[in-house]
Structures are given as structure tokens and as C-alpha cells.
Structure 1
Amino acid sequence: MCDITHQGAVLVVTPSGPLTAEQNPGFAATVVGRLDPGLPQVVVNLHSAPIADSQGLESLLDLQEHAAGRGGEVKLAGAGQLLDEVLRITGVGDRFERFPNTKLAVGSFAR
């Protein structure tokens, strides 16, 4: 599934393995269920997710839509070369602020 931790007020979500329907079913619903009340600040650490299928990309978009609806934001961090290319080609990556690592993504919420 995924590992969910807090770094200050930021929820850091790390999928375990590919972000696909088979490997991470219900990803967005799981994360939404763990959001604190108020302004959601979420970083999805994609370091351990080498690829995402259409359902995985849709989960990221669903999560972003939910967070934005509450005035929050989802940022992506640590995507490998292949996943980064998928995000770029599909245009999904254009909907997110992206960072090379989780530390920079979490720190960006303080700006």
C-alpha cells in the first residue's frame, strides 16, 4: 500500500512499489482518509514508485482535486526518470509542483 507520515504540518505519502491499480489499490481514498482537518499539505514521495498506470495517475489527480477543494495542495517528489517521463507525456505532471526530493517539497510549503 503506502507509508504515511507527518513532517510538521505536511503529510508525506510514500507508495510502496508502482502506482498502479494492482499494487496500490485505493491510493487516493487511503490518503484522503488520513488528511487532518483544515488545509491539506501533501507530498507524494514517488522514489519507490518506478511507474504509474492510468489509474495511478488518476489517483494523483483525485488527491490533488480533493486537497485543492479544501484550499490545500499536493506536491510530487523524487520521481524516477521513467515515471517523470510518464508524468510529462501525459500532462499530469503539469498539474503538480514537482521536486527532486521530499525535503525540498516539504520545505516549499514554508515559503
Structure 2
Amino acid sequence: MSIYIDYAHQLEIKTRQVRDVLKRIGKLNDVPMRPIIPSPLPYAYRNRVTVHAANGVIGYFQRESNRLIDVEHCSIAMEEVNRELADLRSHDVPDGHYTLRARSGPRV
């Protein structure tokens, strides 16, 4: 299963989230905002992910659900994190959650 949101749309969502927080929590309306600065790495930028294991399935929970989606590769995770995921998947692991980390983050 592939879960994909266009990167430009992700930036629009982030802008709305910032405006919402400023309005809701900061009580600031119509604050001038600069555009969100896009990452030079729209993929393979996460140096840490938490996956869940249950009944032999390893992956992420579907949004607003308790359904666990099997994930073999995460497009937004660094390659080192995906190697950790592959290693985890190669073992019979107990149910639970597992945080996978790269040893060092990307230098941007």
C-alpha cells in the first residue's frame, strides 16, 4: 500500500496548521507569514520512525483507525532507517512498538 500526498500540498497543509495555531492558541489573526521553506530533501529525510508490530504485521496504524498497515519500505525514512526496518521484519518480533533510528542525520 502506498500513501502519498503531493509535497506542494504538504507545504500548504503546514501553512494552514501554523495559521491555525497562531489564531487558536496565540489569539493572533491575519498575521503576515512568509511561505514555508521547502526541504531540499522531500524524501528520505526522517532519521527516526516508530513502527508497530501485531500478529506478524509490522508497519503504521491507518489514520483514525486501529488497523495496522504492513510497511516494507518508508519513502520518507533515510536508507539506514529502512535497513533497520528490513532487519526488524526479518525476525519474529513480539507485538509492540519499535523506534528505528539512523546513527546520524543528514547534513543539509
Place the TM-score, normalised by the shorter chain, in its bin. under 0.3
Q: TM-score, normalised by structure 2?
A: 0.26
Provide TM-score, normalisation by structure 1.
0.26
**CA radius of gyration, larger in:** 2
